[in-house]
Amino acid sequence: MRPQRIVVALPLEEELLAPLHEWGRKFDFSHVESVHFLHVVKKNITPLEFGLIETPDEETYHDMMPALEKFLREESKKILPPGFQGETSFQLTKDFHPEEEVIDILKNRNATLIVVATRGKHGFEGLFHSSFTDYMVKFAPCDVFVVRPGPKAEAKPLKKSA
């Protein structure tokens, strides 16, 4: 088996991180050459009376970077096995179209696998939702491994004392 170059697209939502942690505990990293942890901040343009405003602006993005870099490093420790011998790298970027930015990164890094998390919306709930994961499955130049959240824990009724 050829050495793998993996990109892990890290979301900020806690419910999407847990399945990535679980994947990391189960995955065989013995054939992995490198793991690149990535987060793309989505830029937005909002029209206002006095013009257009871009969010986050450069100053806000710059202020966010230390916390996001720390986040990437902390999450990598929850995903990679102790003693991982391959190269580990981190990247933060921003774009109006995060999906397209990730495709470019995958090509530039010659990635063999991208790991992404999905909310797992189906049926009517997911009908009008164009997801990052769907885009990766359709256009990624490498294999795509999709992790889904597990079933939500059901609330148990409290037992009444007799």
Q: How far apart are CA 78 and CA 162, in angstroms?
A: 44
Reply yes or no on whether the pLDDT at 158 is more than 50. no
Q: Return the pLDDT at 159.
A: 42
Asked, as a colleague might, if the bond just before 56 is cis with ω within 30 of 0, I would say yes
Q: How far apart are CA 79 and CA 103, in angstroms?
A: 22
- Residue reference for tokens 């409290």: 158
Average pLDDT in the 38-54 region? 87
Average pLDDT in the 154-158 region? 41
pTM for the predicted model, two decimal places: 0.82
- Residue reference for tokens 């050829």: 2
Q: Return the pLDDT at 93.
A: 92
Q: Return the pLDDT at 95.
A: 87
Interval 55-114: pLDDT, tens: 888 899 899 999 999 999 999 999 999 999 999 999 999 988 899 999 999 999 999 999
- Strand, coil or helix: what is 1? coil
Interval 100-141: pLDDT, tens: 999 999 999 999 999 999 876 554 444 334 488 999 999 999
